[in-house]
Each structure stands twice: as structure tokens, then as C-alpha cells.
């Protein structure tokens, strides 16, 4: 009896010691955790995979910062950065002049460069790189070119036996930076498209019977996979699932009239042409760049942030993180960027981004 | 003076629901007022949804700030919403009634218990799960096998013939919706069938009716009011379903389906998919137009419910 009591007692003492030790540790940890700054990143689903690679590595090096990431779409990213709900809004599209006029304290800071693929599902031809041009794609998406063996497509692909089958154009239904850059390419190459539809994160797609709207990049891949004779535009960070589904990848006509594949090399060539034209606020389309090798559909991936932050500590933490993100030894290091098939930010663009980051206070 | 605490509390809790419905309608009406004024009535009748050039500069039309080229017409959404829900009800009703009758009368009590639990569980599955199932399994299956077969077999019936499409569309949406609402209908019906007085059924049997005739002539007429009530609940769920429809409907924009396999879009799904872009409209007209869609959807559900009440009332009077 006594023995048992003793045992109980010692157990409870042990427990008490442990509890108080934990408590002490908690008290010790408290000042540190109170100083932890939490940042919220929300927006583009194309940038989301990259942020997911960045955040664990960065927060391990900087234990005082906690970063939450959310893939909610570029529009939400911009809206929440403006309203102050999120500190960093991620967007594939830059803000319009009208939006900037209304919110002059908002910065558009490029973090990396993304590429867009044009993919198709043509049974028997998916291992071939079909040649497509802006006017042909505009014709397909406006319902003027309805069959794969249309003369306009056949002219670009001599010797290829194109099927006599209806084309199913697939587009994004959610607001999307991918739609923005795709329709920019169509507008830049085809005056008729520019006049009737134009470019935006959502456009009023001409009614093409049978045409499909899909949600997000994963939805585009799935829709194309299940739709033979379909065509779709898909962000480069989804290259792996596209290859696994054995879908076709198109060569696109660039400004020089050459047909090029969406390789990192061709994207770098295009970026090289456009970087010198980038203005100080960095809001510029990189689509349809000049140059013999330039791939025509690339874009800056933006962090949308407010210049004025409520607390100086938050501003300092944001500056540090964003500067790390664009650093070729930090977030723009090859092992991060190539994992999502992006192109690292060119030096002079990084310089402009650093200047913009310095404005945060 | 003595305050009737219990009474006051009851009044407060009881009035919470009607007041919140009223407030919701008022809020939506006030919030979307600029859009209602700008769109007028052709909002409902035209197939022309266009957020305008979001990268242009706002222009003033009839005193409203909008983006250049912005137009809002939702006829294709009204058609898509009602067509998919009604088609879902047509598919679901016979199956749900059959399942309910089977579970309550067709099998032994020892089996009906666990099986009923199974059906009730189906009713509790989140809609996104059904959506994912439709997206990953039904769309390829329907698009490659079933729709081409149906289109060929029924090539003489309008709306069932023509192009079989890709699997995303009206019939797929209706089917997913039907699977979602079948357990909802059948769970309620089952209990009502069990509550039908056994004496009535026995009387029918003793008159020489077989089990189908007993069901058709005695049980089903008794269920009329329940059937209407639960049908309306199910229709309400189908009308407002967002996620599952978004994943399988094909999200048609600005055109009507030319047959039962063609892509459609519904109001609820459209609001969800367009909000992100609408937020980029600096004039806010796009968001206001979306809330006008929400108002229309809300009014449609209210009208459907009132119609159901009237049917119930008429069924009781007769």
C-alpha cells in the first residue's frame, strides 16, 4: 500500500516537474514567439508551387518570420494586397492603369518569369510538334477555324496528315493570368481579335459550340486529356502532368516569323529582348518579343504589395523576404526555378525590383 | 412591469430566420443597384456576358462608370441552371422513390436498417466529392462511351441526337446533381412509407391487389404532400449547387446548349468562377453584376418555394 502510494507520488512529482519544465520552456519561448512576424501570401496558382518551395527554406533560415501561402487566383491576390488582408498578393498579370490610378501606393514587383505552353490532343500526332500561329489560334478560339484540316493549319504544317475533325477550344473560366497572356498574344498578332475580344484575365470568349471552360491549370490539363481534338493553353509549371498525359506541344510563331518551342532557352532569348524595355514600375507585357529565337508567350510573375505597411517590423520582414526571393543565390537559385520550369529574373529586372522593394516602409 | 423573458426570447429566435432572409435580399438589391440600373431588363434575356476591357480606362455610360465594352446578359445561365436542375429531378425522382420503397417494404427489416444508414450517409457527402467523382470518372466515361452511344441510338429524338461532345455538359451535370439529391429524397420518403398505416396496405392486399398495385394506388397517393415537399428541398439544392457543377458542366459562355450533351453553365457556378476576375474591375460594376446574378438566383429559389407551398396547400385541400 505504502509502496504504491510512494510510486504514485513519485510519478506525479515527475509529472509536475515535467509540466513546469514545459511551462518554463514556454515562458522562455514566449518573447521569441511574440516577435514572430507573420506574413500572408495569396493569389496566383501558377506562383503557388514556387512559394511552396521557398517558404519552408526561408523560414528555416529566418525563424522570426512565419509565412502562410494560399493559391487563390491572381484577382484575389491583387484585391487582398490592396485591402491589406494579405501582405503579398501573387499575380501573373500586372495591374491596369485604372487600378494603379486608384491605388497609387501599390507596387508590382516581378519575382520570376513564366512561360505558357499551347497543348493539343490529336490522336496519333501528339508526338509531333505542330506549328501554330497567333492568327490561327485566334481563328480557332473565335470559331472561324473549326476543323483540324483547315487550310490555314495545313499551310503551317506541310506534310502532316491532319485529321478531318472538329477542334474543341478549351479556355479558363476563372480569372487567370494565363488567359491574360494568351489573349495578349492573340491581340498582338491578330488585329481582328484585338478589336472584337481584346486581352484580360477574363475575356468574353466568342461562342464556339462545343468549346469548354475549365477551372485552373489542373482543370485545363484534365479537360484536354479527356477531350480528343482539343487545344488548350497551360502554364509551364504544369509541364510534368502534360507530358505524363502524352499531350502534344505546339511550336509557336514569333515576331520574327520563326516557329519555336517553349524551352527555357527560347524564353530567356525573349526576356533578353524585353528586359531593357521594362519601365521603372515594371508593368509591361513580355508577350510577342522580337528576336529570332524568342518564344512569344512569357510573362513576369508579380508580387503585389503595398508601399505603406502598418508596422516597420512587417515592412522590414517583407523587404528582406522579397530581396531574398529575387536573389540568384536565394529564391531565384536554379534549384528553385527549374523545379517549376520558370526562368530566373534577369539581372537588370532584378535591379528594378530591388529599387521597388526599397520603397516599402 | 414584468418582462415576459421566455416569450421575448422565443419571438427573437423565431424572427431571426425571416429577418435574415429579408436582410439578405435587401443587401443584394442595394449592393447590385448600380448594375440593375445599368443592365435593365435585358440582363435576363441576352446572351452577352462581357467584363469589358479591364486594362482600358473606365468610361461613363448613362451616368455609370464601366469598363469599355462591358455588357452583362445571363440568359444562358438561367437556361443552364433550370435545365440541369429539372433534368436532375427527372432522373432522381423515379430512382429515389424506388429505392425508398425497396428499403421500407421490399426487404427484411434486418437488412433495411444498415442499408438505410448507407443511404443516409450518401446524403451527407460534401458536394465537392461528387464533383471530383464526376470529373475524374464520369466525364471521360460519358464522353467516350455513353454519349456517343446515346446520340446514335436516339438519333431521331431532338435534343438527344447530334454531337456527343466531350463529356462535359448538361447531362453530366444533371446526372451528378441527381446522384446528390437521390439520397436526400429517398431518406425522407422511406420514413413516410413506413408511417403509412399498415391497415390500409393490408386492406389492399386482401382485396387481391399485388404489391405494385398497393404501392401505386394506396401508398403513393398518401405520399403526395411529402413528395412535393422533399422534391422542392432537392430542387433547391440542385439549383444552388456550385462546386460539383463547376467541375463537370463545361462552363459554356454566352451560348445555349443545342442538345443534352452540350456544355452549360449555371448561376451559382458562374459566380464562383468569375469573382476572381470581377475583383479586377476598378469600377466594381462586374462584382455588382455578379451580385445581381445572386439576387436572381435567390429570387428563383424563393419563387420555387412559394410554388411548392401552393402545391402542398392544393394537395391538402383536395
pLDDT digits (tens, 9 = 90+) for A236-278: 988 989 999 999 999 999 999 999 999 999 999 999 999 889 9
In the predicted structure, residue A29 carries a pLDDT above the cut 60: no
What was the pLDDT predicted at A27? 43
The enclosing H or E element of A32 equals: helix A2-34
Instruction: Tell whether B289 lies on the interface with A, counting CB pairs under 8 A.
Output: no
A164: pLDDT confidence band, cut at 50, 70 and 90?
very high
Mean of the pLDDT values across residues A24-42? 62
In the predicted structure, residue A139 carries a pLDDT above the cut 90: yes
What distance in Å separates residue A20's CA from the closest CA in chain B? 44
- CA dist A228 and B316 (Å) reads 54
Q: Do B55 and A200 touch (CB under 8 A)?
A: yes
DSSP string, A173-207: -S--HHHHHHHHHHHHH-HHHHHHT--SSS-----
Model ipTM value:
0.71
pLDDT tens for A11-23 read 444 444 444 444 4
- CA dist B22 and B37 (Å) reads 21
What distance in Å separates residue B246's CA from the closest CA in chain A? 8
pLDDT tens for A166-212 read 999 999 988 788 899 999 999 999 999 999 899 988 888 998 888 89
pLDDT tens for A307-353 read 999 889 999 999 999 999 999 999 999 999 998 899 999 999 999 99
Q: Residue A94: its chain B contacts at CB < 8 A?
A: none
Q: Do B273 and A227 touch (CB under 8 A)?
A: no
Q: What is the mean pLDDT of chain A?
A: 88
What was the pLDDT predicted at A34? 47
Q: Residue A93: its chain B contacts at CB < 8 A?
A: 280
B189 φ, ψ (degrees, to nearest 5): -60, -40
What was the pLDDT predicted at A288? 94
Q: Residue length, chain A?
A: 361
* Cα–Cα distances in angstroms (integers) from residue A326 to residues A47, A237, A329, A351, B239, in the given order: 13, 18, 9, 9, 47
- For residue A208, what is the nearest residue in chain B, using CA coordinates? B255
Mean of the pLDDT values across residues B226-237? 88
* Cα–Cα distances in angstroms (integers) from residue A72 to residues A36, A41, B135, B143, in the given order: 25, 10, 20, 30
| Dihedral (CA of A310, A311, A317, A323) sign | positive
**What residues does A108 pair with on adjacent strands?**
A304
What distance in Å separates residue B243's CA from the closest CA in chain A? 11
The enclosing H or E element of A6 equals: helix A2-34
pLDDT tens for B186-215 read 988 888 888 888 888 888 889 888 888 888
- CA dist A340 and A238 (Å) reads 8
Contact criterion met (CB below 8 Å) for A160 and A279: no
Which of these, B129, B132, B131, lies nearest to B121 by C-alpha position? B129
Between A88-102, A114-128, A282-296, B222-236, the lowest mean confidence (pLDDT) is in B222-236
Mark which residues 179-218 of B lie under 8 Å from A by CB.
Answer: none
DSSP string, A73-98: -HHHHHHHHHHTS-SEEEESSPPPHH
What was the pLDDT predicted at A19? 45
Q: How many helices (H) and strands (E) does chain A have?
A: 14, 12
Considering chain B, what percentage of its residues have pLDDT values greater than 90?
Answer: 37
Q: Residue length, chain B?
A: 318
Which of these, A358, A361, A296, lies nearest to A109 by C-alpha position? A358
The enclosing H or E element of A16 equals: helix A2-34
Between B224-240 and B285-317, two packed helices, what is the crossing angle to 10 degrees?
170
What was the pLDDT predicted at A54? 94
Considering chain A, what percentage of its residues have pLDDT values greater than 70?
Answer: 90
- CA dist A223 and A217 (Å) reads 10
List the single best residue of A147, A173, A232 to mutate versus B (max B Cβ within 10 A).
A173
Q: Do B273 and A200 touch (CB under 8 A)?
A: no
pLDDT tens for B246-289 read 989 988 888 899 889 999 999 999 998 888 888 888 888 999 99
Higher-pLDDT residue of B291 and A6 is B291
Mark which residues 136-175 of B lie under 8 Å from A by CB.
Answer: 136, 139-140, 143-144, 163, 165-168
In the predicted structure, residue B72 carries a pLDDT above the cut 80: yes
* Cα–Cα distances in angstroms (integers) from residue A215 to residues A308, B132, B220, B276, in the given order: 34, 12, 43, 12
What distance in Å separates residue A202's CA from the closest CA in chain B? 6
Mean of the pLDDT values across residues B76-82? 94
Q: Which of B55, B140, B251 sits opposite A96 (nearest CB)?
A: B55
A90 φ, ψ (degrees, to nearest 5): -100, 135
- For residue A334, the 8-state DSSP code is H
Which of these, A242, A275, A254, lies nearest to A343 by C-alpha position? A275
What was the pLDDT predicted at A30? 43
The predicted model scores a pTM of: 0.79
pLDDT tens for B108-164 read 878 888 888 888 888 888 888 999 999 889 998 998 899 999 998 998 888 888 888
What was the pLDDT predicted at A32? 43
Contact criterion met (CB below 8 Å) for A301 and A271: no
- CA dist A336 and A58 (Å) reads 12
Which of these, A336, A346, A361, lies nearest to A47 by C-alpha position? A336
pLDDT tens for B83-102 read 999 999 999 999 999 988 88
Q: Output the 3-class SS for chain B.
A: CCCCHHHHHHHHHHHHHHHHHHHHHHHHHHHCHHHHHHHCCHHHHCCCCECCCCCCCCEEECCEEECCCCECCCHHHHHHHHHHHHHHHHHHHHHHHHHHHHHHHHCCHHHHHHHHHHHHHHHCCCHHHHHHHHHHHHHHHHHHHHHHHHHHHCCCCCCCCCCCCCCCCHHHHHHHHHHHHHHHHHHHHHHHHHHCCHHHHHHHHHCCCCHHHHHHHHHHHHCHHHHHHHHHHHHHHHHHCCHHHHHHCCCCCCCCCCCCCCCCCCHHHHHHHHHHHHCCCCCCHHHHHHHHHHHHHHHHHHHHHHHHHHHHHHHHHC
- CA dist A183 and A197 (Å) reads 8
Q: What is the mean pLDDT of chain B?
A: 88
Amino acid at each position: 500500500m505504502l509502496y504504491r502510494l510512494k510510486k504514485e507520488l513519485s510519478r506525479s512529482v515527475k509529472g509536475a516537474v515535467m509540466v513546469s519544465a514545459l511551462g518554463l520552456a514556454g515562458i522562455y519561448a514566449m518573447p521569441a514567439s511574440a516577435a514572430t512576424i507573420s506574413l500572408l501570401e495569396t493569389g496566383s496558382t501558377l506562383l503557388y508551387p514556387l512559394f511552396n518551395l521557398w517558404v519552408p527554406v526561408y523560414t528555416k533560415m529566418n525563424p522570426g518570420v512565419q509565412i502562410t501561402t494560399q493559391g487563390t487566383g491572381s484577382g484575389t491576390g491583387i484585391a487582398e494586397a490592396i485591402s491589406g488582408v494579405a501582405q503579398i498578393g501573387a499575380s501573373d498579370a500586372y495591374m491596369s492603369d485604372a487600378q494603379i490610378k486608384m491605388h497609387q501606393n501599390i507596387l508590382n514587383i516581378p519575382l520570376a518569369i513564366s512561360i505558357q505552353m499551347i497543348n493539343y490532343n490529336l490522336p496519333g500526332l501528339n508526338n509531333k510538334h505542330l506549328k501554330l500561329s497567333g492568327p490561327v489560334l485566334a481563328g480557332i478560339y473565335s470559331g472561324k477555324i473549326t476543323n483540324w484540316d483547315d487550310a490555314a493549319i495545313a499551310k503551317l504544317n506541310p506534310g502532316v496528315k491532319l485529321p478531318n475533325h472538329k477542334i474543341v477550344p478549351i479556355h479558363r473560366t476563372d480569372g487567370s493570368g494565363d488567359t491574360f497572356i494568351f489573349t495578349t498574344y492573340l491581340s498582338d498578332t491578330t488585329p481582328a481579335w484585338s478589336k472584337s475580344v481584346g486581352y484580360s484575365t477574363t475575356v468574353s470568349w466568342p461562342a464556339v459550340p462545343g468549346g469548354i471552360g475549365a477551372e485552373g491549370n489542373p482543370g485545363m490539363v484534365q479537360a484536354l486529356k479527356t477531350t480528343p481534338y482539343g487545344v488548350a493553353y497551360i502554364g509551364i509549371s504544369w509541364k510534368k502532368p502534360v507530358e505524363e498525359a502524352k499531350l502534344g506541344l505546339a511550336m509557336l510563331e514569333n515576331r520574327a516569323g520563326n516557329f519555336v518551342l517553349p524551352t527555357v532557352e527560347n524564353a530567356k532569348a525573349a526576356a533578353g529582348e524585353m528586359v531593357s524595355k521594362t519601365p521603372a514600375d515594371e508593368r509591361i507585357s513580355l508577350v510577342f518579343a522580337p528576336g529570332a529565337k524568342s518564344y512569344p508567350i512569357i510573362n513576369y510573375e508579380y508580387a503585389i504589395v503595398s508601399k505603406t505597411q502598418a508596422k516597420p517590423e512587417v515592412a522590414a520582414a517583407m523587404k528582406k523576404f522579397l530581396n531574398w526571393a529575387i536573389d540568384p543565390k536565394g529564391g531565384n537559385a536554379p534549384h528553385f526555378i527549374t523545379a517549376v520550369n520558370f526562368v530566373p529574373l534577369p539581372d537588370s529586372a532584378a535591379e528594378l525590383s530591388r529599387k521597388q522593394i526599397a520603397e516599402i516602409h | 412591469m414584468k418582462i415576459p423573458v421566455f416569450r421575448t426570447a422565443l419571438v427573437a429566435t423565431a424572427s431571426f430566420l425571416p429577418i435574415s432572409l429579408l436582410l439578405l435580399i435587401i443587401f443584394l438589391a442595394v449592393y447590385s443597384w448600380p448594375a440593375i440600373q445599368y443592365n435593365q431588363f435585358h440582363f435576363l434575356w441576352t446572351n452577352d456576358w462581357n467584363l469589358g476591357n479591364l486594362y482600358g480606362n473606365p468610361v461613363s455610360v448613362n451616368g455609370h462608370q464601366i469598363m469599355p465594352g462591358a455588357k452583362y446578359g445571363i440568359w444562358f445561365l438561367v437556361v443552364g441552371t433550370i435545365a440541369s436542375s429539372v433534368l436532375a429531378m427527372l432522373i432522381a425522382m423515379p430512382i429515389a422513390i424506388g429505392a425508398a420503397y425497396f428499403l421500407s417494404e421490399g426487404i427484411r427489416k434486418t437488412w433495411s436498417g444498415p442499408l438505410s444508414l448507407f443511404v443516409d450517409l450518401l446524403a451527407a457527402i460534401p458536394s465537392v466529392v461528387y464533383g471530383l467523382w464526376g470529373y475524374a470518372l464520369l466525364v471521360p466515361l460519358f464522353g467516350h462511351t455513353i454519349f456517343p452511344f446515346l446520340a446514335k441510338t436516339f438519333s431521331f429524338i431532338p435534343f438527344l441526337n447530334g454531337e456527343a461532345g466531350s463529356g462535359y455538359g448538361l447531362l453530366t451535370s444533371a446526372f451528378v446533381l441527381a446522384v446528390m439529391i437521390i439520397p436526400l429524397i429517398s431518406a425522407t420518403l422511406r420514413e413516410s412509407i413506413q408511417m403509412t398505416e399498415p391497415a390500409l396496405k393490408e386492406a389492399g392486399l386482401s382485396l387481391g391487389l399485388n404489391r405494385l398495385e398497393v404501392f401505386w394506388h394506396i401508398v403513393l397517393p398518401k405520399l403526395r404532400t411529402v413528395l412535393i415537399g422533399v422534391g422542392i428541398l432537392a430542387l433547391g439544392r440542385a439549383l444552388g449547387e456550385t462546386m460539383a457543377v463547376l467541375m463537370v458542366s463545361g462552363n459554356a459562355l454566352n451560348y445555349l446548349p443545342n442538345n443534352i450533351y452540350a456544355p452549360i453553365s449555371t448561376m451559382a457556378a458562374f459566380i464562383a468562377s468569375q469573382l476572381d476576375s470581377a475583383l479586377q474591375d476598378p469600377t466594381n460594376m462586374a462584382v455588382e453584376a455578379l451580385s445581381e446574378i445572386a439576387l436572381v438566383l435567390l429570387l428563383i429559389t424563393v419563387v420555387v418555394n412559394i410554388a411548392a407551398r401552393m402545391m402542398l396547400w392544393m394537395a391538402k385541400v383536395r
